[in-house]
Every structure is written in C-alpha cells, then in structure tokens.
C-alpha cells in the first residue's frame, strides 16, 4: 500500500538538500514516510554523488532518541551527509571552527568542502575528500585526501587509520609506500615541512598547532 506523501518534503538548495518534516502528524507516521521516500522514490538524487542534508523539524519538539531515529534512517543512504537538524529544542551554539559531517565516501564519490572538516566515517579506495582547510577523519582513510586546495600549505590531514591511496596538501602530492597497509596503525596526520610531505603521530600535532593543547596540568 502506498504511503501518503505529504509529511516529508525534499527540496534542493545550492549546496545540498533540505528535508522539511511535517510537525503535526504522528511521529511514527513521519518516520514511516521518511523510510518510504528514501527506499522507493527520489532515487535520482539519493543514489548519486555525496549530498549535504539539512533537516528542518518545524515546530516539532524531539528528544535525543527521536533525533537519532531520523539520523539512522538518513544514514542508510551512503551519499547523504547530515549537516544539521533544526527543531525548537535545538540550543544555539557558537559555530565551530570546523564543520562536522558523517557518512561514508565510497569509490567514485568526491566530497568537497570550503573550510576545515571533521568527517566521522570512512573514505574507501576510489573515494576523495577535498577541503580548502584541514581534514580530520575519525575513521579509515583508504582513498585520496586533498587539504588546502586553494594553496594553504599550513593545512593538515589527520585520520584514525592512515592508509591513503594519495595525499595532497596545497600543490604537494605524496603517494604513500605500500607497507602502510602492513604496519600497525595509529591516528596520524600529514603536514608540509620545508616543502615536503611529512607524517607524524597525532599526539605531536601541538608542535604545529599549539592552540590544540587545551589540557592543563593539575
């Protein structure tokens, strides 16, 4: 039986999609239609390149658990990266110095971002992340990462699991050695030093970014 289709509206904007969710229908009915639309319609935009998504709840107040329900449904589509969820209970926060995105960058997909990016997920072989600023990946970097795309040689690339096919910072390109896949990995970061690509443990990042050293002795 077809699901009534007036509770979830998907609109395209310049840099992504906006999901407008009805704030008057039953919550479970809303989730049902959201699942249906992701599984049975809009396939032309939900199976292609990576898309940034903003979710607007209208006047509906939701709990943290309900918000997670919505995120879990949206994350089933690997090309949807959730950028924000707006509801009356959303607390105003100072904008972070970086944008947080979640998802997975699959083979053939390219994620472009203007600024610094904290990416929660994996970058698979054949996938790419390009940023004008820093790239921080809480996950595996097995594809290509390019930080400082507009010439910022102070940009860095960090990942929990470092096994990229290629790294780029500004105009410098480094192809890592084959043994990277064979060694014991830890969270590391790449940076430029005297025009050459260097790799170091993330604990040493304070040498380049002293402002990251926020912990004080007791």
Per-residue pLDDT of 119-128, as tens digits, reads 989 999 999 9
Rounded-to-integer distance, Cα 136 and Cα 139, Å:
9
Tell me the three state secondary structure of residue 179.
Answer: helix
Q: Is the confidence at residue 35, as pLDDT, over 50?
A: yes
pLDDT band at 101 (very low <50, low <70, confident <90, very high): confident
To the question of domain 8-86 being in CATH 3.30.160, the answer is yes
Rounded-to-integer distance, Cα 78 and Cα 57, Å:
22
CATH architecture of 98-212: 3 Solenoid (2.160)
Output phi, psi for 11, to 5 deg.
Answer: -120, 140
Contact 189, 202 (CB under 8 A): yes
Axis crossing angle, helix 27-40 with helix 64-74, rounded to the nearest 10: 10
Domain boundaries, the chain: 8-86, 98-212
Q: Which residue matches tokens 């947080």? A: 100
What pLDDT does 47 receive?
Answer: 60
Q: Which among 188, 151, 194 is positioned nearest to 169, based on CA atoms?
A: 151
Mean pLDDT of 165-172: 93
Q: Is the confidence at residue 104, as pLDDT, over 70?
A: yes
Point out the least confidently predicted range of 71-80, 151-160, 195-204.
71-80
């Amino acid at each position: 039986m077809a699901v009534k289709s007036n509770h979830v509206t998907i609109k395209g904007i310049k840099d992504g999609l906006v999901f407008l969710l009805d704030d008057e229908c039953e919550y479970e009915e809303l989730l049902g239609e959201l699942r249906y639309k992701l599984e049975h319609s809009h396939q032309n935009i939900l199976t292609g390149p990576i898309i940034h998504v903003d979710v607007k709840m209208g006047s509906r107040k939701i709990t943290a658990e309900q918000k997670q329900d919505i995120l879990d449904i949206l994350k089933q589509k690997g090309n949807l990266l959730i950028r924000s969820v707006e509801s009356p209970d959303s607390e105003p926060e100072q904008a972070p110095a970086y944008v947080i995105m979640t998802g997975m960058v699959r083979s053939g997909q390219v994620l472009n971002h203007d600024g610094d990016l904290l990416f929660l997920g994996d970058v698979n072989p054949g996938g790419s992340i390009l940023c004008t600023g820093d790239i921080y990946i809480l996950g595996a970097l097995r594809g290509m990462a390019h930080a400082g795309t507009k010439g910022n040689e102070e940009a860095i690339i960090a990942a929990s699991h470092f096994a990229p096919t290629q790294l780029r910072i500004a105009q410098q390109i480094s192809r890592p050695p084959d043994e990277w896949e064979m060694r014991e990995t830890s969270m590391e970061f790449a940076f430029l030093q005297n025009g050459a690509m260097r790799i170091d443990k993330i604990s040493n990042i304070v040498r380049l970014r002293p402002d990251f050293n926020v912990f004080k002795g007791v």
